[in-house]
Copies of this chain bind each other. A is one copy, B any other.
Amino acid sequence: MNDDTRQLLENVRDGKISVEEAVLKLKVKPFEDIGYAKVDTHRTLRQGAAEVIYGAGKTPEQIAGIADAMLRNGQETILITRLSDGSAQEVQKAHPLRYEKNARCGIIGPVPEPDGIGKIVVATGGTSDIPVAEEAAVTASVLGSEVVRLYDVGVAGLHRTLSHLDDIMNASVIIAVAGMEGALTSVIGGLADCPVIGVPTSVGYGASFNGLSALLAMLNSCASGVSVVNIDNGFGAGFLADRINHMNRKREG
């Protein structure tokens, strides 16, 4: 319900347009308004934050084109996820893009200064989980959160997990990335007192069933304060973690 609607009503009041015309315009508009309204609010709250392009299934030309449009509209920072090395090189011909190889992400424009409530910890069970974790970490960084990486702290070597107890207990949000048996989420969920986001990965073989094992384990976590996103969905976890880490905007807003 934005200024256009008010303008329309004032035009009706002032007899500038007929009731019939107004009915027609209102029939089409409100649903567009919802969208715009949401975008507006969003923009007000998150000034300077990055827009995101989901790169999978898009050609370098399409990605460059979308980025172009965003930049023309005043967007300063753009995050491109699921971007292959080859595509990145193509996009770089059109835009000054920094490519984060591990995360398979490209970034155009400056990364904002972190202004969240605290630090987001991104932890992985093993080294094979790192690409998913990096997608989460880069996403949260580009959206304006400070990120601490704790990689290869799987529960089979519990001393590795515990040697980072300070980071875990001081985190604002924790993203626990693990394949195989996915136990990391429960162990961290039991140690931390902040929201924990489990990201099951497709790392493993045999009865890991491409991440199903880790997914089910995380859903059944006996630790409180834990929720789960899709298998290998590093972006989703990073986005949500940043949103929680920026709950301060909610209050101030």
Q: Is the CB of B28 within 8 A of A26?
A: no
Verify B35–A23 contact, CB threshold 8 A.
no
Q: How many copies altogether?
A: 8
A240:B214 contact, CB within 8 angstroms: no
| CB-contact partner of A190 in B13, B155, B193, under 8 A | B155
Query: Is the CB of A71 closer than 8 A to any CB of chain B?
Result: no
Chain B residues lying within 8 Å of A57, measured Cβ to Cβ, are: 127-128
Query: Which of A85-93, A94-102, A105-113, A161-169 forms part of the interface with chain B?
Result: A161-169
Q: Known contacts A190-B158, A225-B239; is A19 also within 8 Å of B10 by CB?
A: yes
CB distance from A197 to the nearest CB of B (A): 6
- CB–CB B183/A155 < 8 A: yes
Contact with A226, one of B5, B118, B126, B240 (Cβ below 8 angstroms): B240
Task: Please indicate the chain B residues that have their CB under 8 angstroms from the CB of A202 in the complex.
Answer: 206
Q: Is the CB of A118 within 8 A of B251?
A: yes
Q: Is the CB of B250 within 8 A of A172?
A: yes
Assess the A233–B251 pair: CB atoms within 8 A. Answer: no
Contacts of A226 in B (CB 8 A): 229, 236, 240
Minimum CB–CB distance from A67 to chain B (whole Å) comes to 16
- Chain B residues with Cβ below 8 Å from A26 are 1, 5, 9, 26, 30
Interface residues on A, range: 35 or more
Of the candidates B30, B161, B205, the one whose C-beta lies within 8 Å of that of A230 is B205
Distance between Cα atoms of A203 and B23 in the complex (Å): 39
From B36, B187, B218, B220, contact of A204 by CB (8 A) = B220
Does chain B have a CB within 8 A of A48?
Answer: no
Write the nearest CB–CB distance from A139 to chain B, whole angstroms. 10
With beta carbons under 8 angstroms apart, the residue of B9, B35, B163, B185 that contacts A159 is B35
21 of the cross-chain contacts (CB-CB < 8 Å) are: A6-B23, A35-B158, A35-B163, A37-B169, A38-B159, A57-B127, A126-B222, A154-B190, A154-B222, A156-B187, A172-B250, A181-B220, A181-B221, A205-B232, A206-B210, A206-B232, A207-B215, A225-B239, A228-B229, A244-B244, A244-B247
Residues of A that sit less than 8 Å from B by CB: 1, 5-6, 9-10, 12-13, 15, 19, 22-23, 26-28, 30-38, 41-42, 45, 52, 57, 117-118, 125-128, 154-163, 165-166, 169, 172, 179-183, 185-187, 189-191, 193-195, 197, 200, 202, 204-233, 236-237, 239-240, 243-245, 247-248, 250-251
